[in-house]
Structure 1
Amino acid sequence: MPVNETLSQYSDWSYTTSVVVYILAMVFFLVEQSFGRHGRQAAERTRSRELVGAGTGNRNTDPGNRNTDPGNRNTDPGIGNTGSGNGNTGPGNGNTGAAPTRAERFGRMGVALTVLGLLLHASALVLRGLATARVPWGNMYEYVMITCFVAVAAWLVLLRKHPVRHLSMFVLLPNVILMFVGGTWLYAVAAPLQPALQSYWLIIHVAAAAASSGVFLVPGVASIFYLIKARNESHPEKFAKFAAKLPAKDVLDRVAYRTTVFAFPVFTFGVLCGAVWAEAAWGRFWGWDPKETVAFIAWIVYAAYLHSRATAGWRGNRAAVINVIGFAVTVFNLFFVNLVTTGLHSYAGVG
């Protein structure tokens, strides 16, 4: 079926515009990250005074209870996330009832721009699919496009649950870099699928792989920040200014763990579907192709992370290091294996 060049052009324009909007959103988030600290601290102190003044209304006010410190996020089980460590009370999430600060307004505008960028991003995917009359993930350019789309969408979902909005710039930054690389060096003209990819397994296997890879970006960034925060707590002179703006370690740990728990089953499903597709296409379920091997290594790393959390209770630096390693292997598999090595998955390169 011939390619619709007009729709393909509109897709490219939407893709480029979404990158520009993401960059603009990063600027707004940078303003909040740089100048919003004092506003967040003031809001946290205000909320702490309200909790102390509540008296018997808080069941954790017993002096013998270790959670009486207003800075502790568990000061009121009925509210849950009230402390400076977690910070759903700060202007970053706007749950204090106080007037938003100027920095908070920039943060909110950053979220609005991110949503706009995501809509343009989705338009680029849909138009690419309509232009080629197939699913829009048949080459590296399209794969990067959908992976980054999932990463931004996952982050926006997390913003509704956790007080980490002021870290959005650091999540958007790798996405913008990936999208820039995808739109320049990896760009492929819209075209029909290669014969090797003309299978319904492309819809299932590649979609699961791209979705899990996108979500894995979030715990990778959160774990890196966890290690920075931990380093600062053990050596206050290290990362002093930057670490002061980060959420508490337990918030970062929770974000990393919950997103990994969600992404890992999807990734596992994608690996299994790939094995079934390999048997249908090449006559074997597993052949230790470079792509398969590195994907299996990544699966082992993330499985070790979840297993250590569930059985050994690893919630500190060791768990964060494992998660960062898993993220590094995923990125390595995405670029180096696809573009440098030679194997049965070489058709996934710059088509």
Structure 2
Amino acid sequence: MNLAAAANAALYSSMIVYTLAMLGFTWHLAARVPQVTTARAGASAETVRQSADVRESVLVGAGDGSSDGSSSGSSDGVGRAGTTSHPASTDAGGPAPAESLRSRQRGSIALMLTYLATALLVASVVMRGVAVSRPPWGNMFEFATAAAAAVGAAYCLLAKRNRWEWLGVFIVTPVLLVLGLSLAVLYTEAGELMPALKSYWLGIHVSVAFLAVAFFTIAFAVGMLYLVRRRREQKPPARPNFIESLPSSAALERTAYSLNMVGFILWTFTLIAGAIWAKQAWGAYWQWDPKEVWTFVIWTVYAAYMHSRATAGVDLRKSTYIALAGFVCVIINFTLVNLVSTFVGMHNYSGM
């Protein structure tokens, strides 16, 4: 078996293991529900408050701002100015005591499966690169698999540190969808690069781009959970579910902001590096190519989010919507701009 075929075999294997991990994370979330229900039904108010504080400590947030978008500049929850954190919340990597042993065991199993699946996917990307003797992201299929590997690797590193098993199903599921789309629609045989791509900038510009996409993807998942968690805090449901076992909306929002900030910094480098590469390849830093335009649109939307997030008095929910819109732009940049003939310009490198 040659390396290209071995890379495909590793890719299929990773999809199988990711599927098992997805089922494991779903199993894990199901085990969190009874614990929440018990706390709601029979625990004292102080016990519920302390459990919420500890759950909030699972996330390491950054930045400040109120959870309800009021004009106050103080934080809500972890790190609130003028308050002392709950003693148990000092260990950001430890599991919440309110979580059952069964839930922790299921989460650990799912996380181990995710480690294995990500290792297989990374091995597939590396073998593809060795097979063609170049960076393995010269077409849409290779970029999609490399980006999925980056998302999986970033999640594994962050989950190991912060005990983010509760986030797993919301990361593994889109990774599986991307891999399935890659094989069903985007697959391209291993081959030589187009002349314009034969540059050392391919290994720099594109690799940083999919690292940025990895952070944007995780931030998108956390941002969506923040909106759901905040709504349920404002209007508590009659029957709690796993959402009530998550960190507070304030902690989720701060974590989404931290992830988006890293992604934004990486995307800024992507934009600058792309302009430098364009100068070498086409003789101009900017030519209003659709890919260039949408790269700048993404940067502008996330810059607007950063500005909104830092502005006192702006509702954090509205800021989060801007970040979610930025991720929609990322998806458009990867799909429509590469596949629809109306958008395709000088970046016609999809390989399809």
Bin the TM-score by the shorter chain.
0.7 to 0.9
C-alpha distance 277-73 of structure 1, shift in aligned 2 (>3 A): closer
| CA shift for structure 1 position 158 | 2.3
Q: Deviations over 1:222-269 (max 9, x none)?
A: 111112222333444599646434431112112211111112111111
Aligned twin of 1:123: 123
Aligned twin of 1:263: 263
C-alpha distance 201-160 of structure 1, shift in aligned 2 (>3 A): same
2:85 aligned to 71, 77, 84, which one?
77
Aligned twin of 1:6: 2
CA distance in 2, matches of 1:234, 1:95: 23
User: For 1:106-255, what aligned pairs fall within 5 Å after superposition?
Assistant: 106-236=106-236, 241=241, 243-255=243-255
Residues 92 and 162 in structure 2, CA contact (< 8 A), matched pair in contact too: yes
For 1:350, give the aligned amino acid: G
Residues 286 and 292 in structure 2, CA contact (< 8 A), matched pair in contact too: yes
Residues 7 and 128 in structure 1, CA contact (< 8 A), matched pair in contact too: yes
CA distance in 2, matches of 1:350, 1:274: 19
Aligned twin of 2:95: 94
Listed as ranges, the gaps of 5+ residues in structure 2 are: 51-76
| CA shift for structure 1 position 99 | 9.8
| CA shift for structure 1 position 293 | 0.9
Aligned twin of 1:350: 351
CA distance in 1, matches of 2:260, 2:99: 35
C-alpha distance 279-287 of structure 1, shift in aligned 2 (>3 A): same
CA distance in 1, matches of 2:163, 2:247: 8
Aligned twin of 2:335: 335
C-alpha distance 99-311 of structure 1, shift in aligned 2 (>3 A): closer
Aligned twin of 2:30: 34
Q: Deviations over 1:139-174 (max 9, x none)?
A: 101101111111112222222444532121011111
TM-score by length of 1: 0.82
RMSD: 3.1
| CA shift for structure 1 position 126 | 0.9
The question of 1:291 aligning with 2:286 is answered no
The question of 1:25 aligning with 2:21 is answered yes
The question of 1:103 aligning with 2:111 is answered no
> 284-293 or 223-232, which moves further after superposition?
223-232
Aligned twin of 2:326: 326
Residues 232 and 240 in structure 1, CA contact (< 8 A), matched pair in contact too: no
C-alpha distance 238-151 of structure 1, shift in aligned 2 (>3 A): farther
Q: Deviations over 1:297-324 (max 9, x none)?
A: 1101111111222243646201110110
C-alpha distance 294-306 of structure 1, shift in aligned 2 (>3 A): same
The secondary structure found in structure 1 opposite 2:134 is coil
The secondary structure found in structure 2 opposite 1:138 is coil
CA distance in 2, matches of 1:232, 1:99: 20
| CA shift for structure 1 position 295 | 1.1
Higher relative contact order (CA 8 A, sep 6+): 2
CA distance in 2, matches of 1:195, 1:154: 32
For 1:281, give the aligned amino acid: A
Aligned twin of 2:58: none
Aligned twin of 1:272: 272
CA distance in 2, matches of 1:233, 1:264: 29
Amino-acid identity (%): 33
C-alpha distance 40-329 of structure 1, shift in aligned 2 (>3 A): same
Residues 36 and 242 in structure 2, CA contact (< 8 A), matched pair in contact too: no
CA distance in 2, matches of 1:322, 1:132: 40
Aligned twin of 2:301: 301
Residues 33 and 241 in structure 2, CA contact (< 8 A), matched pair in contact too: no
